Amino acid sequence: MKPLAGKHAVVTGGGRGIGAAIATALAGAGVRLTLLGRSRAQLEAQARKLATEVHVETCDVTDPAQVQQAFEGASHALGKVDILVNNAGQAESRPFGKTDLRLWRTMLEVNLTGTFLCTQAALPGMLAAGWGRIVNIASTAGLRGYPYVSAYCAAKHGVIGLTRALALELARKNITVNAVCPGFTQTELLEASLAAIVQKTGRSPTEARAELVRHNPQGRLVEPEEVAQAVLWLCMPGSAALTGQAIAVAGGEVM
């Protein structure tokens, strides 16, 4: 059974980590995919692993012109966009007193403005078709606070606010808008964060990992495939009553 056969999904940041896992899950449901990101090599490597029709677009999601061009290319290649997964993101930690304007703007532009721009590019086609699914990959940092990542938390809280507002605007349009909020997830991005913790605090890699794991009541890191399954569920035809939700995939960390 291919419950989403014929649908076209754009997955931003689709070349690795959570984005790659989401692309794999959607491909298994019959979706045709556009993978969007900054590294063509990563995108093409992921595309070769997928058992579906795949198009690749390189794009910086903070650049309006690049976003518009990428979505035009995606629509030309595979037709209107039915599903948008705003996964592209970036995390950087620093104490609030050392958070400069460059870091603040970077966190908001990549995590929040990128989501805004890609949604604006995809939405007209969904409205014309009378069907759509928008899933924003937020974070438990959008549901609670963490120390030393104030800019990232602010951006992800913004993603959830955008999700809720847009869900209400589109509630009668057969388009759902939801957020999936992973806890600490086993990805390359997390490994970079662990390396930064080791460098800045002098802790061992084992101690640094334990510090992140302790937030999860299950005592483990989340797997990218677990996040992907939540996204897939929200894209299914039977999930039409689910909109405006921020679903934590975090082992019970947020309830």
Which residue of the set 71, 116, 131, 152 is catalytic?
A: 152
Question: Annotated catalytic, 152?
Answer: yes
Instruction: Tell whether domain 8-183+223-248 is in CATH 2.115.10.20.
Output: no
What's the pLDDT at 93? 87
Q: Which two tokens stand for residue 181?
A: 């909020």
pLDDT tens profile 127-160: 999 999 999 999 999 999 999 999 999 999 999 9
What's the pLDDT at 199? 80
CB 33 within 8 A of CB 55: yes
Position of tokens 């909020």? 181
Q: How many CB atoms lie within 10 A of CB 171?
A: 13
Backbone angles phi, psi at 53, to 5 degrees: -75, 125
Residue 95, helix vs strand vs coil: coil
CA distance 163 to 113: 13
Contacts with 179 (C-beta within 8 Å, 6 or more apart), sequence order: 135, 136, 137, 138, 142, 159, 160, 163, 245, 246, 247
> Does residue 220 carry a pLDDT above 90?
yes
What's the pLDDT at 202? 83
Contacts with 119 (C-beta within 8 Å, 6 or more apart), sequence order: 84, 86, 134, 162, 166
CB 146 within 8 A of CB 183: no
Residue extents of the structural domains in the chain: 8-183+223-248, 186-221
Query: What average pLDDT does the segment 15-22 reach?
Result: 96
CA distance 46 to 44: 5
For the packed helices 150-169 and 101-108, what is the interaxial angle rounded to 10 degrees? Answer: 30
CA distance 123 to 58: 20
> Does residue 242 carry a pLDDT above 80?
yes
* Paired residues of 185 in beta bridges: 222
Give me the percent of the chain exceeding a pLDDT of 90. Answer: 86
